[in-house]
Amino acid sequence: MPDLDEPVKINPLELEGYAMATDPIAKPSAAGTSDSVKEMISQRLVDNDLQLPPMPGVAQRILQMNPDATANELAKVVMDDQAITSSIIRIANSAYYGGRYKFDTLPTAIVRIGLQQVWVLALGFSILSQEFQANRFKKEYALLCEHAIGCAYLSGLLAEITRFPNKEDAFFGGLMHDIGKVVIYTVLDEEQQKEENPHWSDEVIREVVEEHHPEVGAFVAASWNLQPWMKDVSRFHHRFRETAQNGHLVCIVALANRFCHLFGFGAPKEEIDVLADGLGDAARFKPENLERVLNQSAQIKDLISKLKTAG
């Protein structure tokens, strides 16, 4: 297990595909092109030069808690971070949980949401913390957080619908599936501040982030010793047919991700067939359940909206 008090470096020996893809005699790409930025990210990975900040303290303490911890014990840990506490209370007061009474304290919010759900939310919020809020990409970071919450709740719903045995795993997988994007934005922000680097267009950055984030997310999961299946969720949520393990879970998150794009959760709305390419069957999702997801999407949208007002 890594020393969580020190910056974490990714092991290049685990870098599936990147080392072989880097050609030492290839001609350098023109500065500012997507190829040049991809080469920079790949080279930093190969050179073991992609550092992660230490896991945030609240996340460390949550992972170290006894699985049988009480709501009060969890509340004591979470209350060390006011932003997480505020977010959880706002979630408890959203239409998703349908309560008639307003919850003003963390212990009552935990009772309303449920101990296991709050455990996952607090862990995810701590990992998606201010450590990664790169200066240039604050807007992208905010959208990623909205997308993460939408995907988490949709993954939890799809877990219920498809009878996946552990809803909390699906929820956490949805929450963290794009963590690689957050890390890449942080790296790009660092590089962009160097005088020798040109300004990169939004199109170039978008292309680089989309191509690299699955592998980078898998390495974050490995470096921080998150659940082993989290590597598969990060790596294969866009390539669900390639996963050899944890296939049902990967497909649930992949399908939830498509629903997020259909509903516009943290992304522009897209008119897409969410069940295309056999993903619906792979996730064990039947078309007759579409209405249930559509009906619940309004409540999830309200929940995301309440969190946005906290920003």
For 126-145, the pLDDT digits (tens) are: 877 655 555 788 888 889 98
Confidence category of residue 198, pLDDT binned at 50, 70, 90: low
Q: What is the pLDDT of residue 21?
A: 34
Residue 241: pLDDT band by 50, 70, 90 thresholds?
very high
Q: Collapsing DSSP states into helix, strand and coil, what is residue 114? A: coil
Domain with CATH 1.10.3210.10 in the chain: 132-308
What pLDDT band is residue 286 in, cutting at 50, 70 and 90? Answer: very high
Average the pLDDT over 13-30 and give the result.
38
- Region of poorest pLDDT, from 6-20, 27-41, 55-69, 127-141: 6-20
**In this model, does residue 173 exceed pLDDT 60?**
yes
Q: Which residue do the tokens 């990210």 mark?
A: 41
* Max CA distance (Å), the chain: 66
Residues 6+ apart with CB under 8 A from 184: 41, 208, 209, 212, 213, 216
Tokens of 260: 């997020």
| Highest mean pLDDT out of 60-69, 188-197, 223-232 | 223-232
According to the model, what pLDDT value does residue 205 have? 87
The 10 Å Cβ neighbour count of residue 292 is 13
Region of 220 (left: φ > 0; alpha: ψ -120 to 50; beta: rest) is: alpha
Q: Which CATH number describes the domain made up of 132-308?
A: 1.10.3210.10
